Amino acid sequence: MSTIARGMRCILLLAIAAFSPFSCVAAAESGAITGLPKQLHSCNLIPEPNCGTWAWDGQHYQCRWENGAVGTMTVKRFGADGVLIERRDTTGKFAGLVGTYTGTWNGKKIVDGKLTRILKNGTLVYGWIASLE
């Protein structure tokens, strides 16, 4: 596919995602993810918000938070009909943490975000937000 054709396809996919009630259904394992933001700014709304940047590497979001946490996010679903992202921290301050992020993408930000995270000391559930930078 030519560079122009790929560019036109991307523009079309972004237009569909922005103006359609349909979602970008993501399947990272199959490489079928399209239309995801290249970068997101996210904040976990624990008693003191902890924010970080998510950078898309083509298969996952690689994340670094202000508190020293480092995570890999696997997108399972991402769109107006729902967001489902699995988190796994293998290094950093919270190595061993796993979590599930849910919410809804409105084309510019996550709304109704909920994070369920599991670490050695138990399970916590709290809000989260994310938006384009």
Summarised one tens digit per residue, pLDDT across range 50-93 is: 999 999 999 999 999 999 999 999 999 998 899 999 999 999 88
Report residue 34's pLDDT band, with 50, 70 and 90 as the boundaries. confident
The pTM assigned to this predicted structure is 0.74
- Percent residues over pLDDT 70 in the chain: 74
Residue 16 has pLDDT above 70, yes or no: no
Tokens describing residue 37: 């933001």
CA 33 to the chain's CA centroid: 12
Q: What is the DSSP letter of 24?
A: B
Are 109 and 42 a contacting pair, CB within 8 Å? no
* Average pLDDT, integer, range 102-121: 93
The rounded mean pLDDT for the chain is: 79
Are 63 and 54 a contacting pair, CB within 8 Å? yes
Distance separating alpha carbons of residues 126 and 27, to the nearest angstrom: 25
User: Which residues lie across from 91 on neighbouring strands?
Assistant: 70
